[in-house]
Amino acid sequence: MSRLPSDSLAFALLQAARIHLAVLAGQSLADGQLGRVGAVARPAVQDLVYGSLRRYGRGDFLLGCLLSHPLAAEEIRCLLLVALYRLETRPEAAHTVVDQAVRAAGELAGGRFCGLVNGVLRNYLRRETELLAALAADSLASSQHPAWWLAELQRAYPENWPAIVAVGNMPPPMALRVNLHRGSRAEYLERLAAEDIAARPLGEAGLVLDRPLPVERLPGFAAGLLSVQDPGAQRAAELLDPAPGSRVLDACAAPGGKTAHLLERAEVDLLALDLKPARCRRVTANLERLGLNGAVLAADCTRPDTWWDGQPFDAVLADVPCTASGVVRRHPDAKWLRRAGDIASFAASQARILDALWPLLRPGGKLLYATCSLFPVENGEQVARFLARQPLARRRHEEQLLPTAEHDGFYYCLLNKPA
Position 75 in a domain:
yes
pLDDT, tens digit, for every residue of 219-234? 999 999 999 999 999 9
Q: Specify whether 279 is located in the same domain as 182.
A: no
Residues 6+ apart with CB under 8 A from 288: none
The reply to whether 219 and 157 lie within a common domain is no
Look at residue 176 and give its three-state secondary structure: strand
Distance CA 229, CA 404 (A): 15
Same domain, 165 and 185: no
What whole-number percentage of the chain has pLDDT above 90?
A: 94
Q: Does 225 lie in the same domain as 235?
A: no
Which own/partner pairs from 86-93 qualify as long-range (CB within 8 Å, at least 24 positions apart)? 86/9, 86/13, 86/48, 87/121, 87/124, 87/125, 88/55, 89/51
Residue 96: predicted pLDDT: 97
Sign, CA dihedral 378-349-407-35, equals negative
The alpha carbon dihedral of 37, 333, 214, 105 has a sign of positive
Assess whether 181 and 98 both reside in one domain: no
Separation between Cα atoms, residue 169 and residue 53, nearest integer Å: 10
Where residue 39 falls among pLDDT bands split at 50, 70, 90? confident
Q: What is the DSSP string of 353-411?
A: HHHHHGGGEEEEEEEEEEES---GGGTHHHHHHHHHH-TT-EEEEEEEEPP-SS---EE
Q: What number is the average pLDDT over the span 37-58?
A: 93
Whether residues 358 and 269 share a domain: the answer is yes
* Domain containing residue 99: CATH number: 1.10.940.10
Domain span at residue 182 reads 176-229
Contact 215/223 with Cβ under 8 angstroms?
no
* Same domain as 249, residue 202: no
Interatomic CA distance for residues 365 and 360, integer angstroms? 10
Q: Are residues 195 and 269 in the same domain?
A: no
Q: Tell whether 85 and 149 lie within a shared domain.
A: no
Work out the pLDDT band at 70, boundaries 50, 70, 90: confident
Q: Are residues 184 and 276 in the same domain?
A: no
| 4 within a domain of the structure (yes/no) | no
CATH number assigned to the domain comprising residue 154: 3.40.50.150
Whether 320 is in a domain gets the answer yes
Domain count, the chain: 3
- Amino acid code (one letter) for 280: C
Marked catalytic residue, from 252, 280, 372, 413: 372
Q: Is residue 3 part of a domain?
A: no
Q: Are 215 and 238 in contact (CB under 8 A)?
A: no
Domain assignment present for residue 333? The answer is yes
Which parts of 195-341 fold into alpha helices (H)?
A: 231-240, 257-265, 277-290, 333-337
Q: Are strands 295-298 and 269-274 parallel, antiparallel or unpaired?
A: parallel
- Judge whether 239 lies within some domain: yes
As a whole number, mean pLDDT of residues 329-342 equals 94
Residue ending a domain, choose from 142, 162, 195: 142
Phi, psi of 295 (to 5 degrees): -80, 135
Domain stop point among 142, 163, 185: 142
pLDDT at 61 over 70: yes
Residue 182: DSSP 8-state: T
- Residue 348, in any domain of the structure: yes
CB 293 within 8 A of CB 287: yes
Convert the pLDDT of each residue in 343-370 to its tens digit. Answer: 999 999 999 999 999 999 999 999 999 9
Same domain, 159 and 274: yes
Query: What pLDDT is recorded for position 255?
Result: 94
Query: pLDDT value at position 212?
Result: 93
pTM greater than 0.85 (yes/no): yes
Q: What is the pLDDT of residue 72?
A: 86
For residues 192 and 132, membership in a common domain is answered with: no
Reported as a pLDDT band with limits 50, 70 and 90, residue 176 is: very high
Dihedral angle computed from the Cα positions of residues 369, 371, 373 and 375, in that order, rounded to the nearest 10 degrees: -20
> What helix, strand, coil percent values describe the chain, rounded to 5?
50, 15, 35
Q: Where are the beta strands (DSSP E) in 61-215?
A: 175-178, 199-202, 206-209
The confidence score (pLDDT) of residue 109 equals: 86
Tell me how far CA of residue 135 lies from CA of 213, 226, 345, in angstroms.
Answer: 33, 42, 33
At 272 the pLDDT is: 98
User: Three-class SS of residue 198?
Assistant: coil
Query: pLDDT tens-digit profile of 76-111?
Result: 999 999 999 999 999 999 999 999 999 999 999 889
Torsion, CA 260, CA 175, CA 160, CA 333, rounded to 10: -80
d(CA 399, CA 376): 12
- Is the model's pLDDT at 1 over the cut of 70? no
Q: Are 255 and 279 in contact (CB under 8 A)?
A: yes
**Cβ(250)–Cβ(273) below 8 Å:** yes
Side chain identity at residue 293, one-letter code: N
Please indicate whether residue 372 is annotated as part of the active site: yes
The CATH code of the domain that includes 222 is 3.30.70.1170
What is the gyration radius of the CA atoms in the chain, in angstroms? Answer: 23
Cβ(228)–Cβ(215) under 8 Å? yes
pLDDT score recorded for residue 30: 80
Final residue in a domain of this structure, among 189, 211, 229: 229
Judged by DSSP in three states, 319 sits in strand
Closest to 25 (Cα-Cα) out of 283, 333, 232, 257? 333
> What is the tens place of the pLDDT at every residue in 242-297?
999 999 999 999 999 999 999 999 999 999 999 999 999 999 999 999 999 999 99
Assigned domain for 238 exists: yes
